Structure formats: C-alpha cells, structure tokens
Amino acid sequence: LKKYPHELSGGMKQRLAIAQALLGRPRILLLDEPFGALDPGIRADMHELVLGLWREHKLTVFMVTHDVDEAIRLADRIALMRAGRIVQTGAAEEVYAHPIDLKAARFFCNVNEIEGQVESGRLATPLGNFDATGIADGLAADAAIRPQGVSLDAQSGAATGRIAARHFLGEVDLVELAIPGVDTPIMARVRTRPPLEVGTEVTISVAPEDVLVFA
C-alpha cells in the first residue's frame, strides 16, 4: 500500500494483477503469458500461488503460454494450437506421450530425428529398430528420440559412437554423439560422474518408450 506502481517488482505487479482480476469473482479467468517476464524463482512461487487460488475459488482458467514446462506443471488439460487452430487436446501426460505428429513432438521436447524405412512393422535406423505399427511397409518414416532416452552406460547397446561435445547443465550433461550413418549429432541427457570426456568411444542404447515414430 505504501509503494508507487513504478516501485513494484515484477512479482508484485503480477500478484496485484491477479488480485484485481479476482475482485470481480469471475467464473472464468483468461491469462495471456502471465509469467513470461519473471525470473525462475519468482515464477515458481507464482505457480504455487495461482494453483492455490484456482482451486480455492473453483475457477475455470484458460492460460496461454509458450513455456512447455509451465503448461505441463499447471494444466489439467492442454490444447496445442498451430496457425490459429487446435490440433491436439488432452491431459498433459497424454499429449506428451502421444503427440499427434512430429511438429507436436518437437514442441514438447527437443528430439533427435532419424530417417529410416519401415519393414515388417519396424523402423530400421542406425540406433536400432523401433515399433512402427500403423505405417505400411516400404514407407519412409522418422524416429523422434528424446535425449533423456539415450543411455551411454549400458553393457551392450544397439550402436556405438564417439562423444563429440559435452555441455554441463547442472544435474545432467548434454552430450553430443557422433554416430556412423547419422548425419547430425545425436543429443543425450545423461548423468555420469565423473563426466565422460570428449573423444571417448561409447556404447549407446535407446529406451523404446522415448522413441516416437511418424510417417
């Protein structure tokens, strides 16, 4: 109450805006990228605050966001929009696990993309053969492999490669792998201590649940 508007922090302004919106006791609340300008710490606090308010006031809330983590954290249901049209809706786990197409898979995660050909219901790639049920034999298809599904510590794997680069991300390392037969580096999010050195030859395995195949 003792501060002028220009003296308020970003988090204070956001809390005030939400309080003003709730004064009218709305049944439906629209939030358009409400936390985009906040730093990570304040954003996490705001997430907890608004979740509590939504549940307390039994509000229906539509929130627009380009932040995938935020959508998954807050939403009961996600609607993925493209060119002004809704292309997929569902619970967060459902939309993440079963994206409608390759573009949707890219939106929810930075995936490794490898082309191959379907034979006998399987897509053959340099990283292994993956389930391609529903795609006719002989057709080309793309495997979208999530980086967290690529493992370097298995005793035996589907492929071998070399560590081309390593980026420290705190809890995990983002490793770039050079693999014969694959034009672009394969990205893996791994937790190995001590870290694997650049140039190390490694054996690579891929978790089937982290592979999506699209015609």
Nearest residue to 112 (alpha-carbon basis) of 199, 201, 178: 178
Sequence length of the chain is 215
Q: How far is the C-alpha of 186 from the C-alpha of 70, rounded, in Å?
A: 26
Q: How far is the C-alpha of 214 from the C-alpha of 97, rounded, in Å?
A: 13
Tens digit of each residue's pLDDT (9 = 90 or more) over 47-66: 888 888 888 888 899 999 99
What is the predicted pLDDT for the residue at 39?
82
| Confidence grade of residue 45 (pLDDT, cut at 50, 70, 90) | confident
* Cβ neighbourhood burial of 69 (10 Å; 0-12, 13-18, 19+): exposed
**Is the per-residue pLDDT at 154 higher than 60?**
no
What is the predicted pLDDT for the residue at 42?
82
Q: Which of 149-163, 181-195, 199-213 has the lowest mean pLDDT?
A: 149-163
Tens digit of each residue's pLDDT (9 = 90 or more) over 116-153: 999 999 999 999 999 999 999 999 999 999 999 999 87
What is the predicted pLDDT for the residue at 22?
85
Q: How far is CA 179 from CA 17, 126, 182, 201, 204, in A?
A: 51, 8, 6, 10, 9
Tens digit of each residue's pLDDT (9 = 90 or more) over 9-23: 877 888 888 888 888
Task: Please compute the mean of the pLDDT values over residues 16-31 and round it to a whole number.
Answer: 88
**H helices within the chain, ranges in order?**
10-23, 40-57, 68-74, 92-97, 102-108
Name the range with the highest mean pLDDT among 38-42, 146-150, 167-171.
146-150
Tens digit of each residue's pLDDT (9 = 90 or more) over 85-106: 999 999 999 999 999 999 999 9
3-state helix, strand, coil in the chain (%, to 5): 30, 35, 35
DSSP state of 21: H
Contact indicator for 63, 73 with CB cutoff of 8 Å: no
